[in-house]
Every structure is written in C-alpha cells, then in structure tokens.
Structure 1
Amino acid sequence: MDQHDHADGAVDMMTPHKKHLGPHMKWTRLRMANADDAGRAYQIVQTLRQALAKYKDYRVAMDDGYAPLHPERKPKHYHFANKQRRLMAKVRFDPAEPTALLYKKAGDGYELEGAMYTAPRDMSEDQLNERVPLSVAQWHAHVNLCFQPDGSRRRMTRKQLGGKRTMVTESECQQAGGRFVPQAGGWMIHVYPFESTSVKIWTH
C-alpha cells in the first residue's frame, strides 16, 4: 500500500474518467479542457510510451528495480513498484520514470498495460496540475480506510466490520477494533499510453 504513494477536497462525481466513486477514493476536480493542456498531456504520453517500450519484457523491469507488489494475489492490474523512483517522485516529476508499472497476468509471465505516477499527499491541485493537466486526467488517493489493529496494511474483513461492506468514519472503525487511516499514501494516477483514445489512456 505504501508504494501507492497511493490535499483535502470533496470527491468530484462529475467526470467520465472514473468508475470508482466509493467512499474510499478521493479524486481531483476535472478542469475545463484547453489546447495547451492537451498538448502537454500528449507529450507526457509520447515520452512514457517510449520509456515503457523495453518494459514489455517484465524481467527487464525487474532488473531496473521494479518489483511486483503482492504477487500472491490476483488483482486486475499487477503493480510493479520502484522504490527509488517513488522517492524521486516526492520532489520532481519525470514522465519517463513512473513510480510503478501496470501489468496483467499472461501465462507464466506478465503483459505490460501502462504505468502509474505518484505525488506527495500534501500537494495542492495546482501542483498536481503542473505534473499532469487536470483538464485531461484526475489524480486519486485512497481514503477512509480501516486496517487491522496490528499495524499491518491488511484491511479489516467484512465479518470484523459487522457485515458492512465499507467503513467510512473513524468512530465506526474504532468501534470494530480497527485502526482508521484518513489517507493511505499520496496521490497517484494511472496512464495506459498504448491505448488509442485519450479517455482510455487516462482512465483508472
């Protein structure tokens, strides 16, 4: 979870980009489209596409310091995270050096789908916009989480939460014996540079 390094503000529900609108996701607001932002986003995608070409072989990615998070699980996307690049993302943005690579399982290996950029949790939306234009895409953060009380990053089970699917408030989490975390990690954004349309490229 800390590799998801995955600004206060309400979740903006008026956007075509995202599907995850639950209480555990926070999104930046989608701004008005403009030509300058579209051009900047295009350059980011072109740079990323070129940088990712060699990582179509996941073994090359691992040689460059990317390691799969929770390989024992079966998620939709496998995140191969790079600790060094995550640290660098705290102080600068380089579109050619994403914090994580996104793969899907393919036989005995992995097929490259895209990448993930990260940013510090205390960044303002204006600062995030300087990295990736908010008229094209939205950064997201994981919020209102209820973890096991042992200090681990394991979420409380539905049984522990009294059958509830979600746990939103700190008091609810504490009553269930859990450890409430307002926001886990920082901001993040997924990019799929090999897709054919802007909406698909910047979807989550």
Structure 2
Amino acid sequence: MPLRHSTVKITAMLALTLAVAAPAFAQDMSGMDMSGHDMSQMPGAKQSDATTMKEGEMDSMSDEAMDHDMHMGNGAMKNMSLHMAYTDLRPANDADKARAAVLVTDLQHALAKYKDYHVAEADGFKPFHPEFKQQKVVHFTRNWNGLKAMFTFNPNEPTSLLYERTPDGGYKLIGAMYTDHKGATLDQLNERVPLSVARWHRHINFCIPARGTDMKTADWTKFGPNGSIATKEACDAVGGRFYPQVFGWMVHVYPWETNPQLVWAH
C-alpha cells in the first residue's frame, strides 16, 4: 500500500475517531455517530448508562493521543489492528464493478470544485486540528453530511474530504470518506458501496483514561486508538472507561487514483 494511504489510515484512526466534532464529546460517546450528533436524543433511541465525559475532556485527550502517536513513526501502526474492524470482501462480480465505477465517476464530478480547499471550507467542511503539522493527510468534515448519512446515502455528499498537505502550506484533494450509522448491517453497507469492491471499517475497543486524568501524563501506549488495551476487562483493571465501538462505519475512496486497486484502498 502506498505511503499516502497508510498515512490516511493513521490520520483517520487518530483524528476522526477521537474528535470529528469535538464539542459534541461532552455527550456520551456510545450514543454518538460519525456526525458527532447525540443519537440518544433522537426519537426511539434508548438513553445509555455509559460514563459521560466532561466538556472539552475528549478534545484534550485527542490532542495528547495524536501528539504522542504522530511522533511514533511506523510504530503508530503497532496496535491498530486491535482497534479496527473491516468487512470481508464478497465475491467479485461485474454488476458491482459497474456500480462502483459509476460512484467513482460521479464523485469525481461532484468533488471537482473542492480541489480548491477554500471552496470546501466555505461549504462547511472543517479541517481537524490543522495545527498538527505531522499529519500528512487532513480530514475536512461536514457534520451535516454525516448526520444525513445516518439515514440516507447521497454519493455526491461524502462526510469527509481527504486532503494531502502541499509544500506551499496548502492542501491537495486526494479522496473522500463515506459513513453509515454504527448499527448498519452488511447488506445496508453493500447497498451504498459494494462489499465486493470496498472494505468498510469501524473503530472498536477503545479504553479511555479515567475521568479527571491529566491527559498529558496518560500512558498512550495503553490507552486510546493505538493503545495495547482492547478489552473491557483490561480497561476495568486500570480504572478506564471502555467503548466497544466509536462512531459508525466508514469507507475511503480515492477517485483520481490511476491504479484501480487503489481507488477503494483502505
């Protein structure tokens, strides 16, 4: 896999999973979806009894975890498999290939205007922590798109745009990310983007430091998106808070890749 796509995986793990919509993390993470909206307040939703977080606590935690892992270099991939789950590829078929090709072509046209990242920002796509210069790829997320994606799929309105930093301090558009709610079935994901072509992923088994912990002194080799702790039992043993899944399903697409194998690379 090219370095660029490996970097996207790390950035997605550190940035999107932790703080796509930082202010919303004052609410219970287990009630949140990719948009950062509190699902527990939606009609028919059950109120979770999971531990809630103080205002700004998760944003602080995301800063420290990202700063730690961005300085780990290749080591940032070490425990990623503990906290990522992927859909299995279904058997390839011509119908799915044709459907995916239409998605890519339509997305190329829909995103053309966003090659100028200023246009994306004007349309409500906001970069996550652009001050972290170690990020080679920055996610620009539009929360409204993420909210709508929980209920319906518009292939021309991805939740996030993926920008690669350029030497002049700007950004080059390289891809996009679609999302679905955490309870989506495999068949529902397949209806959006065929599972024979792309592998959707979700972020799982997070152990968060106990409330009141100084995030600057937390052991990020154990906690967070690259931590060694990946079970509730191990998390309980250190007094942490365990979340079996954070946010919903996600899938990346790189519509301008010339190599077909990399268009839906995860």
Please give the range of the TM-score, normalised by the shorter of the 2 chains.
0.7 to 0.9
The residue type paired with residue 199 of structure 1 is Q
Q: 1:198 to 1:175 in 2, by over 3 A?
A: same
Distance 2:208 2:156 in 1: 34
Distance 2:210 2:131 in 1: 23
Q: Does structure 1 conserve the Cα–Cα contact (< 8 Å) formed by 2:205 and 2:244?
A: yes
2:117 to 51, 55, 58: 58
Gaps of 5+ in 1: 7-19
Shift of 1:193: 0.2
Distance 1:130 1:84 in 2: 21
| Pair 1:184 & 2:258 matched | no
| Pair 1:5 & 2:34 matched | yes
- SS of 1:200's partner is helix
Q: Does structure 2 conserve the Cα–Cα contact (< 8 Å) formed by 1:2 and 1:185?
A: no
Superposition TM-score, scaled by structure 1 size: 0.84
1:127 to 188, 210, 215: 188
Task: Summarize deviations over 1:95-130 as a string: whole Å, max 9, x none.
Answer: 110000001111221111100000001000000000
Which structure has more helix as a fraction of its residues? 2
Aligned to 1:16: none
Q: Does structure 1 conserve the Cα–Cα contact (< 8 Å) formed by 2:252 and 2:264?
A: yes
CA RMSD of aligned residues (A): 2.4
Q: Does structure 1 conserve the Cα–Cα contact (< 8 Å) formed by 2:96 and 2:194?
A: yes
Aligned to 2:199: 138
Q: 1:21 to 1:173 in 2, by over 3 A?
A: closer
Aligned length: 188
Aligned to 1:195: 257
1:39 to 98, 118, 134: 98
Task: Summarize deviations over 1:52-100 as a string: whole Å, max 9, x none.
Answer: 1111111100000000112232324211000110011011111110000
Q: 1:151 to 1:183 in 2, by over 3 A?
A: farther
Larger RCO (CA under 8 A, 6+ residues apart): 1
Distance 2:153 2:81 in 1: 28
Distance 1:140 1:2 in 2: 17
Aligned to 1:88: 148
Distance 2:86 2:119 in 1: 32
Superposition TM-score, scaled by structure 2 size: 0.65
Percent sequence identity over aligned pairs: 45
| Pair 1:28 & 2:57 matched | no
Shift of 1:140: 0.1
Aligned to 2:232: 170
Aligned to 2:178: 117
